[in-house]
Amino acid sequence: MSRIMGMRGFLTSSVGATSIGVTCAAALALPLTLPATAVAARSERTGATGRVAEAAVPGSTQSLPLVPLARTRVLGTAPEQGLYRAHVRHFSLVGVVWDDPDTELDGRVQVRTRGAASGRWSGWQDVETHNEDHGADPGTTERSSGRVRGGTAPLWVGDSDGVDVRVRAGSGPAPAAGDRNGRPDGPDSPLPPGLRLELVDPGGEDPPHGSPADVPRTGTGNQPDATAAAYAANTDLAPYGALEIPELGRRATEKELARLDTDVPRGKPHIGPRPKIVTRRGWRADESLRRGGFVYTKKVKAAFVHHTASGNKYTCSKAPSVVRSIYRYHVKSMGWRDIGYNFLVDKCGTIYEGRAGGAAKAVQGAHTLGFNANSMGIAVIGSYGSAKPSSAAVKAVARLTAWKLGLFRANPRGKTYLTSGGGNLYPKGKKVRLNVISGHRDGYSTDCPGKRLYAKLGTARSSAAKYQGR
């Protein structure tokens, strides 16, 4: 992969973890008050030089243990845990986690929340329980860190200040709304130990301050170089600290490819015009949350399409808040080194940079358990089992894959082989033939990316190939 790795000014010359940035231990137990570093960051928006630093985006996570719900124990009654809190600090995203990432939650999770503005309680909503199909591959440093937990998919609920959650073992029906004593539904089925409710506040909405030239190349807090490293990783595409990687036309993209890769074959290259991508600075990622350094693989041979299963009740103006919430949930609640996806796409077709390390580089994610090496993960924000994805989102997936796969000479209509790192469909070491643009379910037994989005992958493949000029 020296033709790509050597010519892009990559921040590493070898595959694996690098020491860019200062390593920060990711704590799973989170304080219920703002950390001192966040408070300090607020007071350091301007320095002696007069340059404007990043506006603080503290956010928070409330991690609350679930308790057995009061019920009459009768033969055949399934275990149930839950929690009711009429007044909690504001949050916008919920999830449930447990101790062992290799243990599945065989049951049903439901939640209702109270809107902070309206004061009204929502109806009960189901939370997707099968999230173990995402995550780092077995045997990797990220997976064996001792920080990783099992967890549900996150659910976006909007600004809320009250919560009611119930988790019931088994596949039977959940109790009726308002019935907190439950009812029998078959043999007992244990719930995983250590169940906790995670309430995530994505932080403030202020736009980033300062032009790229004003952004200091070292930060403050307990991970001073993480922000600088994340911004520098994209300087082959945009100025340091840019809010977005700008859209390019076809000819400009081809010229950029020639600059990044001097080993491009003669003739017209097959690469789609580069789409606009909102950087991590653009969606205001708090770089002190993630672990320091980046992990790269050799190349990008395939793209796996996902949905976030976080629901569709968000506006596009709130999409950056959703991304920040998922990022915090993946890192602080699930124990991953960074957000799992390489890119995210909202319902309006806006593309967001995901895991840090460089949008044009082969950054290893934690999106498709067993197939994170030599692939990238693209998550369309929302749930698409019964809801139809927007045409803008499908087009964005096609444009993104046409460009990114083109950097690595992959044909969106083609097939490729990936070696399984271990999962529930393919044993570790097995070479698997997959579509270059695949759905998550092609590499793991899961419903992701949802039936309606999966049905659009053929359209995405054809469109991506046309963008590449094939």
Calculate the dihedral angle through the C-alpha atoms of 321, 322, 323, 326, rounding to the nearest 10 degrees.
120
Euclidean distance between CA atoms 310 and 312, whole angstroms: 7
From CA 132, how far away is CA 378, in angstroms rounded? 17
Phi (first) and psi of residue 397, to 5 degrees: -60, -45
Residue 26 lies in a domain: no
pLDDT attached to residue 114: 98
Residues of the domain holding 309: 2-18+225-467
Q: Does the residue 37 lie in any domain?
A: no
Residue 137: the pLDDT is 83
Q: Nearest Cα to 273, choosing from 296, 298, 246, 297?
A: 246
Q: Reduced to 3 states, what is the DSSP secondary structure of residue 376?
A: strand
Specify if 218 maps to a domain.
no
DSSP, collapsed to helix, strand or coil, labels residue 324 as helix
Please tell me whether residues 288 and 151 are part of one structural domain. Answer: no
Q: How much is the pLDDT for 222?
A: 39
In whole angstroms, what separates CA 47 from the centre of its chain? 33
| Measured CA angle at 122 (ends 117, 125), to 5 deg | 135
pLDDT (0 to 100) of residue 205: 66
pLDDT more than 70, % of the chain: 77
Final residue belonging to a domain, choices 168, 201, 234: 201
* 277 in the same domain as 424: yes
In tens, the pLDDT along 10-67 reads: 333 334 444 333 333 333 333 333 333 333 333 333 333 233 345 557 799 999 999 9
Per-residue confidence (pLDDT) for residue 444, from 0 to 100: 87
Residues 242 and 325 placed together within one structural domain of the fold: yes
Residue 323: its H or E element: helix 319-328
Could you list the beta-strand ranges (E) of 174-332. Answer: 196-201, 244-245, 277-278, 295-296, 302-307
Band of residue 182 on the pLDDT scale cut at 50, 70, 90: very low
Supply the mean pLDDT for the chain: 83
User: Do 267 and 387 reside in the same domain of the chain?
Assistant: yes
Residues 193, 229 within the same domain: no
Question: Does any domain span residue 117?
Answer: yes
Residue 30 phi, psi (nearest 5): -110, 145
Strands (DSSP E) found in 358-470: 375-380, 415-419, 431-435, 437-439
Distance CA(428)–CA(423), nearest Å, equals 7
**CA terminus-to-terminus distance, the chain:** 23
Q: Pick the range with the lowest mean pLDDT from 87-91, 153-157, 181-185, 232-236.
A: 181-185
User: Looking at the domain assignment, is residue 31 inside a domain?
Assistant: no
Residue with tokens 């990622």: 285
How confident is the model at residue 134, as a pLDDT? 78
Per-residue pLDDT at 215: 56
Apex 22 CA angle, 16 and 28, nearest 5: 90
Please report which confidence band the pLDDT of residue 76 belongs to, taking 50, 70 and 90 as the band edges. low
Give pLDDT tens digits for 302-356. 999 999 999 999 999 999 999 999 999 999 999 999 999 999 999 999 999 999 9
What is the total count of domains within the chain? 2
pLDDT of residue 396: 98
Name the 3-class secondary structure at 457. helix
Same-domain check for residues 270 and 186:
no
**CB count, 10 Å around CB of 16?**
13
The predicted structure's pLDDT at residue 316: 97
Nearest Cα neighbor of 79 from 193, 202, 178 is 193
Looking at the structure, do residues 353 and 262 belong to the same domain, yes or no?
Answer: yes
The two structure tokens encoding residue 9: 């000014």
Please report which helix (H) or strand (E) contains residue 260, including its range.
Answer: helix 250-260
More confident residue, 17 or 381: 381
Per-residue pLDDT reduced to its tens digit, 208-231: 655 554 555 554 443 458 999 999
Residues 6+ apart with CB under 8 A from 41: 53, 54, 56, 58, 220, 221
Return the SS3 of 266.
coil
Confirm whether 427 is domain-assigned.
Answer: yes
Q: What is the pLDDT of residue 418?
A: 96
Distance (Å, whole) CA 406 – CA 386: 32
Please check whether residue 168 lies inside any domain of the structure: yes
Of 235, 296, 291, give the one whose Cα is nearest residue 22.
291
**Per-residue model confidence (pLDDT) at position 72:** 44
pLDDT in tens, 296-316: 999 999 999 999 999 999 999
> Taking Cα atoms as reference points, which of 454, 451, 430, 312 lies closest to residue 385?
451
Position of tokens 């039977």? 172
pTM: 0.84
Confidence at 70, pLDDT banded by 50, 70, 90: confident
Structure tokens at 442: 């092609």
Domain end marker among 201, 235, 263: 201
Residues 173 and 315 in one domain: no
DSSP 89-126: --EEEEEEEES-TT----EEEEEEEEETTT-PBPPPEE
- Cβ atoms of 330 and 336 within 8 Å: the answer is yes
pLDDT band at 181 (very low <50, low <70, confident <90, very high): very low
Strand-pair partners of 284: none
Kindly state the tokens that stand for 342: 């390489």
Is the backbone of residue 433 left (phi > 0), alpha (psi -120 to 50) or beta?
A: beta
165, HSE (Cβ side, Cα atoms, 13 Å):
27
Tens digits of per-residue pLDDT, 139-160?
888 988 888 999 999 999 999 9
pLDDT at residue 123, as a whole number: 97
More confidently predicted of 140 and 183: 140
Is there a single domain that holds both residue 190 and residue 233?
Answer: no
Task: Provide the pLDDT for residue 28.
Answer: 31
> Which pair of structure tokens corresponds to residue 287?
């770089």
More confident residue, 184 or 268: 268
Contact of 285 with 327, CB cutoff 8 Å: yes
pLDDT the model gives residue 430: 92
Is position 114 within any domain?
Answer: yes
Task: Give me the half-sphere count of Cα atoms (radius 13 Å) on the Cβ side of residue 157.
Answer: 35
At 313, list the tokens: 């009740």
Q: Are residues 286 and 395 in the same domain?
A: yes
**More reliable by pLDDT, 184 or 273:** 273
Do 75 and 165 belong to one domain? yes
User: Nearest Cα to 166, choosing from 76, 225, 78, 249?
Assistant: 78
Average pLDDT over residues 374-402: 98
Task: Estimate to the nearest angstrom the gap between the alpha carbon of 462 and the chain centroid.
Answer: 26
Residues 294 and 384 both lie in one domain: yes
CB 324 within 8 A of CB 138: no
Q: Tell me the average pLDDT across 266-288.
A: 93
Q: Looking at residue 323, which CATH number applies to its domain? A: 3.40.80.10
Answer with the one of 166, 201, 236 that is the final residue of a domain.
201
